[in-house]
Amino acid sequence: MIELINILPSTGVREINGPRNPSIDSVTSDSRTVIKNSLFVALRGTAFDGHHYINKAVEKGAVAVVCERVPENSSGEVCYIIVENSARALGEIASAFYGFPSESLKLVGITGTNGKTTTATLLYSLFKEMGHKTGLISTVKYIVNDKEEEATHTTPDAVKLNKLLARMVAEGCNYCFMEVSSHAVDQERIAGLRFAGAVFTNLSHDHLDYHKTFDNYLKAKKKFFDGLDKEAFALVNTDDKRGKIMVQNTQARINTYALKSVAGFKARIMESHLDGMLLQIDHKEMWSHFIGEFNAYNLLAVYGTAILLGKKQEEILPLLSKCPSVKGRFEYVKSHDDALAIIDYAHTPDALANVLRTIHRLRKPGARIITISGAGGNRDKTKRPAMAGVAVSLSDKLILTSDNPRNENPEDIMEDMFAGIAEKDQWRVLKISNRREAIKTACNMLSPGDILLVAGKGHENYQEVNGVKSHFSDREEVEQAFKSREKK
């Protein structure tokens, strides 16, 4: 139990009405989870307005409410804290309620369109190998030292986020590496956190269903860097032209990395093979099991972050070369007759292009590339034609299929994608809405040496159709299809 006065935000409070200092047992923005002595924070969301649930929260036992406006018929027995921005207040309150856990950790946030999960996961693996108790908050999973749980969001809500960080502190973690999504920044989920550093990977077309314009998307990413303090570091990829924009107004120490342009941390691909690549990083060579230029950027970002956290090159590179690949990121399965399937999470035009260009450089002469691609339902529709256009331009055959259609008709999603394919290329495209059938069909089309890219879902082990999640794994489907090939 904690007194309300000890967790109120330091700024943005406009007025306090009612009992001034009740004791608080829990903080929540979900009226369904309110218990006796809760502090309820009413958020204005994209679909629901928490202000409509204030009276329900009070009925269930909330003794204090943070809101932007007090409801009619408000209870005189409840403390109402009127603030300028409820979402920001929630982040600051959650941080205070859990004892400001980010101040007891070296917390590093990774943001960008592509590469966040790989970079964060590699940093976690590297620092674990160095002997540090470490936490991870990623799209795939949350890890507190060695204890894992499946992720629900790329960046959790402010209460769960601070609760996770507090668990890390309680279990002796020194570091935490977390993905920071544009949604999380825009919705103030990271308000109240103190970051030791921030990493920018790249920026390309994504999430315009939420942000509406690319400029809004960019500003959401930039806001993360704007909020860093002068003790933090900002590490940005300057081969992406938006890298310099990210740090225009930051107080943090600015550092850069690149493969092609002038930067503080530099890398070069010396050799590239299907089982890995030889990199030169700051004039020292290292072998990695990771493949492709996009992964060279990820590895360099990890190296630069480790240096900025005080580690030495001679310690970093040998351990980094041993780091295992990340599930669902350029993960490959071989058939008995030397065909190859690559499972990858690529779900943006830029990510698809990066993966397919890497495959082009690695394939044997005469080998074909077959791509399976879909697009998520109830998400950014504007990227669908661009994804299909990129996929068909870099493939010998393209199969359009379902991803997670959610509440949309899969046939409509495929038509949106098909609209991006030039008439001259349409003969090379198949539409198979059933993803399992699409994978079977593609695997049966492969000849020895051919490469199949199954894009979009990567690590996911489910498919969401009409709001219902059912078990589905691209890797399992490919393995089963290859076993069927073997029997023929």
Q: 67: buried, middle or exposed (CB in 10 Å: 19+, 13-18, 0-12)?
A: buried
Which helix H or strand E contains 237, and what residues bound it? strand 233-237
Instruction: For the chain, list residues with pLDDT below 70.
Output: 154, 205-212, 487-488
The string of DSSP codes covering 327-387 is TTSSEEEE-TTS-EEEEE---SHHHHHHHHHHHHHHSPTT--EEEEE---TTS-STTHHHH
pLDDT at position 285: 96
Give every strand in the sheet of 175-179, ordered side by side.
147-150, 141-144, 134-137, 175-179, 106-111, 197-200, 233-237, 253-258, 265-273, 276-281, 284-288
The span from the CA of 250 to the CA of 235, in Å, is: 11
Structure tokens of 152? 């629900």
pLDDT at position 208: 53
Which helix H or strand E contains 23, and what residues bound it? strand 23-24
Residue 456 φ/ψ region, left for φ over 0, alpha for ψ in the -120 to 50 degree band, beta for the rest: left
Residue 352 φ/ψ region, left for φ over 0, alpha for ψ in the -120 to 50 degree band, beta for the rest: alpha
Write the single-letter amino acid at 377: G
Neighbouring-strand partners of residue 411: none
Write the single-letter amino acid at 33: T
pLDDT at position 360: 92
pLDDT at position 480: 94
Pair 320, 123: CB distance under 8 Å: no
pLDDT at position 152: 75
Which pTM was predicted? 0.86
Neighbouring-strand partners of residue 276: 273
pLDDT at position 205: 57
pLDDT at position 18: 87
pLDDT at position 260: 96
The span from the CA of 462 to the CA of 468, in Å, is: 10
- Taken in order 292, 298, 299, 300, the sign of the CA dihedral is positive
Alpha carbon distance, N-terminus to C-terminus of the chain: 66
Closest CA to 86 of 161, 8, 143, 152: 8
8-state DSSP, 231: T
pLDDT at position 168: 97
pLDDT at position 326: 81
